[in-house]
Structure 1
Amino acid sequence: MKEGLIIKLYRERAGLTQTQLGEGICSVTHISKIERGITQYSSEIISLICKRLNIDLNQELEQYELLEKKLNEWLEVMVKQQLGELDTLKEEIENNAYIYLSEVQNSYRILLARYYFFKGNLQKGKEILDSCLQQLGLLDRYDKHLLEHTLGIYYISLGNIKEAIKHLTNINPIEYNNHEFYYHLASAYHMIQAKVKAYHYGNLALSYFRTTNNFKRMLDTETLMLIQMGYNDIDHFEDTVERYHALIKSCKTYQEDVKVVNLWHNLGVDFAAKNLFEEARDAYEKALEGCYTLSLPHIELGARRGFVHCSIHVGHTEQTVLEKHIQLGRNLAKNMKNDTYLHVFHLLEIMLMHSQSETYYQYLETTFLPHLREKGQESLLMIYEKEIFHYYRRSSQYEKAAELANKYMSASL
């Protein structure tokens, strides 16, 4: 089949019809079948065709196979987060003559979208994916799964978890050998507080990363699984904190600075869930310190929200400092087109200026909570539903309080 694609490429470059190429060699029907890879052919016929096209078929096959190899390497460095090699491989791929063949063009374009995600250009990446979706019927099975995986990554980045899960659960692991998608499924289920599913898919991802010797992603997955085990485990919370610090130490040893920042953020989430607001604020502050030197917009959004929220609970932080954090968070959310965090920082501004007034709870109940439910943002939903539950109790709205309590009791069964 590869031989046929090569012959077709060079025939079209030479401006020859199939009839002209086959003249004196074989029939136009035979040329057509060779190009489509649906017939057997003699070495003599191929030799004559290549002579007419002035190509060395063995050398051309090497270039075609090199392109396939480079595309696989490009995906591998994305999975392993070896960002220093991204641009070099992109250049090598785009300089290969066979990049414009439809048989490799689809894989290339989907990987190019993920490349732009790494570069922080979500809009450019999504435009490419939209064009791939328009040609969905022309994609082979592997490329369809690659597209679903990349769309899942995109929607996780946007915080649209329901849409992310819809795409990621369309993937057949038998037909798609990049089982990194299990990690993204685990992350998505974590975000909607589906702990059993998050742990299950995390375990599958961990097994894959171990098999592929991907130490960086093993750390990511172990962190994610730690959250599932320790989030509500009050009796063993000291052990959970110790495991966080052990992972932070390991990441520092291997100079995994991004993962250190993420661990501090997640530890802040765990502290805040247990109303240990001072400890949570300190953890969020350490995460923000890392964000100042590294470009980590998604972590920065969560860490800035957590720092302001916990600081308001604890006190001791000047209002002007918190106002600056809110404005920085709002600007970042605007740049990322993240509607959820635009709501978050508006809500924090109300909380800071008016304490937890009726205005705060009205916005929370009528605007923000419905938005979180629509987007499937269960991590934030749990934080703010807990707040409004206590408000309902204080304001004698017992039916609403009971409804929320029943929701979480049912989820725990």
Structure 2
Amino acid sequence: MKEGLIIKLYRERAGLTQTQLGEGICSVTHISKIERGITQYSSEIISLICGRLNIDLNQEMEQYELLEKKLHEWLEVMVKQQLGELETLKEEIENNAYIHLSEVQNSYRILLARYLLTKGNMQKGKEILDSCQQQLGLLDRYEKHLLEHTLGIFYINIGKIKEAIRHLTNINPIEYNNHEFYYHLASAYHMIQAKVKAYHYGNLALSYFRTTNNFKRMLDTETLMLIQMGYNDVYHFEDTVERYHALIKSCKTYQEDVKVVNLWHNLGVDFAAKHLYEEARVAYEKALEGCLMHSLPHIELGARRGIVHCSIHLGDTEKTVLRNHIQLGRKLAKRLNNETYLLVFHLLEIMLIHSQSEAYYHYLETTFLPHLQETGQESLLMIYEKEIFHYYRKSSQYEKAAELADKYMSASL
């Protein structure tokens, strides 16, 4: 089949019809079947055809197979997060003569979309994914799964978690050998607080990363699984904190600075969930320090939110300091065009001025939570729904509290 594709490419480049190419060699029907890979052919006929096209078929086959190899390597470096090799491989792929063949274009374009997502260009990446979806009938099984996986990554990145899960659960692991998608499924379920499913898929991902000797992603997955443990008693939570510190130490050893920042942020979230606000603030402050050092604006938003939220609960910080965090957070959210965090910092300002008054809960219920629901921001939604759940209980709004309790029970299954 590959031989036929090569012959077709060079015939079209030479401006020859199938009749002209086959003249004196074989019939136009035979040329057509050779190009489509649906017939046997003699080495003599192929030699004559290649002579007319002035190509060395063996060399061309090597180039075609090299392209397939490079596409596989490109995906592999994205999975392994070896970002230094991304650009070199992209250039080698795009300089290959066979990149414009329809048989490789689909895989290339889906991988290009993932490359753009990795670079933070969500809009362009989504445009390519949309065009690939429009040609779904032309994709083979592997390409369809690759597309579903990349769409899942996109929707996780923009916070539409249920949509991400819909795409990721369409993947058949038998037909798609990149089981990294288990990690993204685990991440998605984590974001909607479905801890059992998150741990289950995390365990599958960890097994895959161990098999493929992917140490970086093993650290990611162990971190994700650690978050799911959810121990409530002091003894087990102390053990969880020790595991966090062990992972932080491992990440520092391998100079995985971004993972260190994420771990501090996640530890802050865990402390805050148990109302250990002083410890949470320390963790958020360490995360913020890393964000400023390594320019991690998206994590910085979460770290500043956490610092302000914990400090308000502790009541031991000058309001001018907290207003500065809110102001810097708003400025960053505007720069990132992040409407959600603009609302977050407005909510924190209300909380700072009025404490947890009726004004705060009114804004939370009527403006902020509906926005999170509409935009699918499940991770933040869970944090603030738990907060308003306690408010409903204290204010004897038992019916509303029961509705939220039912939601949490369903999510944990």
Give the whole-Å Cα distance in 2 for the aligned partners of 1:320 and 1:64: 63
Secondary structure at 2:24 match in 1: coil
1:65 maps to amino acid: E
Say which SS state the counterpart of residue 26 (structure 2) adopts: coil
Q: Deviations over 1:34-53 (max 9, x none)?
A: 11111111111110000000
Match of 2:200 in 1: 200
Alpha-carbon deviations, 1:147-179, whole Å to 9, x = none? 111111111110110111111111111111110
Q: What is residue 314 of structure 1 aligned with on the other side? A: 314
Could you say what secondary structure the match of 2:86 adopts? helix
More displaced 10-residue stretch of structure 1: 346-355 or 182-191 = 346-355
Partner of residue 271, structure 1: 271
Structure 2 counterpart of 1:287: 287
Q: Do the aligned residues in 1 keep the contact of 2:192 with 2:411 (CA within 8 Å)?
A: no
Look up the SS of the partner of 2:110 in the other structure: helix
Kept in 2: contact 1:10–1:53 (CA 8 A) = yes
Superposed, which structure 2 residues align to 1:97-246 within 5 Å?
A: 97-230=97-230, 232=232, 234-246=234-246
Q: Aligned equivalents of 1:187 and 1:265: distance in 2? A: 15
Identity of aligned residues (%): 90
Deviation at 1:393, TM superposition (A): 3.4
Alpha-carbon distance between aligned partners in 2 of 1:412 and 1:176, rounded to the nearest angstrom: 28
In the alignment, which residue of structure 2 is the partner of 1:76? 76
CA contact (8 A) 2:194 2:412 kept: no
Where do residues 225-374 of structure 1 align in structure 2 (5 Å cutoff)?
225-230=225-230, 232=232, 234-374=234-374
Contact kept in structure 1, 2:193 and 2:412, CA below 8 Å: no
Supply the AA of the counterpart residue of 1:217. R
1:56 aligns with 2:81: no
How far is the alpha carbon of 1:295 from its aligned partner?
3.6
Q: What's the CA shift for 1:231?
A: 5.2
In 1: Cα distance, 2:157 partner to 2:189 partner: 14
Partner of 1:384: 384
Instruction: Indicate the residue corresponding to 1:47 in structure 2.
Output: 47
Cα distance, 1:407–1:87 mapped onto 2, change above 3 Å: closer
From the superposition, tell whether residues 367 and 165 of structure 1 become closer, same or farther in structure 2 (CA, over 3 Å): same
Give the AA of the match of 1:282: V
Measured after TM superposition, the shift of residue 305 of structure 1 is 1.8
Q: Deviations over 1:93-117 (max 9, x none)?
A: 1111111111111111111111111
Give the SS at the match of 1:172.
coil
Cα deviation, 1:349-380, whole Å, max 9, x if unaligned, reads 22123322322111111222233344554432
- 1:194 CA displacement: 0.6
Q: Secondary structure at the match of 1:97?
A: coil
Shift in CA distance, 328/120, structure 1 to aligned 2, threshold 3 Å: farther
The answer to whether the 8 A contact 2:261-2:286 is kept is yes
Q: Is the 8 A contact 2:269 2:280 kept in 1?
A: yes
Question: Could you tell me which amino acid in structure 1 is paired with residue 392 of structure 2?
Answer: Y
- The alignment partner of 1:113 has SS state of helix
Cα distance in 1 for partners of 2:242, 2:298 equals 25
User: Distance between the aligned counterparts of 1:257 and 1:148, measured in 2?
Assistant: 30
Matched with 1:90 is 90
Larger displacement relative to structure 2 (251-260 or 373-382): 373-382
Q: Secondary structure at the match of 2:98?
A: helix
- CA 1:331–1:41 in structure 2 vs 1: closer, same or farther (change >3 Å)? farther
Per-residue Cα deviation, 1:321-373 (whole angstroms, up to 9, x for no partner)? 32332233334434444443333222122212332232211111122223334
Q: How much is the aligned-residue C-alpha RMSD, in angstroms?
A: 1.8
**Residue ranges of structure 2 left out of the alignment (5+ in a row):** none
Whether contact under 8 Å (1:80, 1:217) holds in the other structure is yes
Q: 1:201 to 1:326 in 2, by over 3 A?
A: same
Query: Residue 284 of structure 2 contacts residue 303 of structure 2 at CA under 8 Å; is this kept in 1?
Result: yes
Deviation digits for residues 174-204 of structure 1 (CA, Å, limit 9, x no counterpart): 1111100000000000000111110110000
Say which is worse superposed, 104-113 or 211-220, in terms of deviation: 104-113
Checking the alignment, whether the CA contact within 8 Å between 2:195 and 2:412 is kept in structure 1 is: no
| Aligned residue identity for 1:39 | T
Separation in 1, partners of 2:295, 2:129: 24
- Range that drifts further, 197-206 or 363-372: 363-372
Say if 1:409 and 1:172 are closer, same or farther in 2 by CA, change over 3 A. Answer: closer
Structure 2 counterpart of 1:325, which letter? H
Match in the other structure for 1:24: 24
Counterpart contact for 2:267–2:283, Cα < 8 Å? yes
TM superposition shift of 1:130: 1.5
**Shift of the alpha carbon at 1:278?**
1.0
1:180–1:208 Cα contact (<8 Å) kept: yes
TM-score (norm 1): 0.95
| Partner amino acid, structure 1, of 2:272 | A
Pair 327,361 (structure 1): closer, same or farther in 2 beyond 3 Å: same
Give the whole-Å Cα distance in 2 for the aligned partners of 1:376 and 1:125. 20
> Aligned AA for 2:147?
L
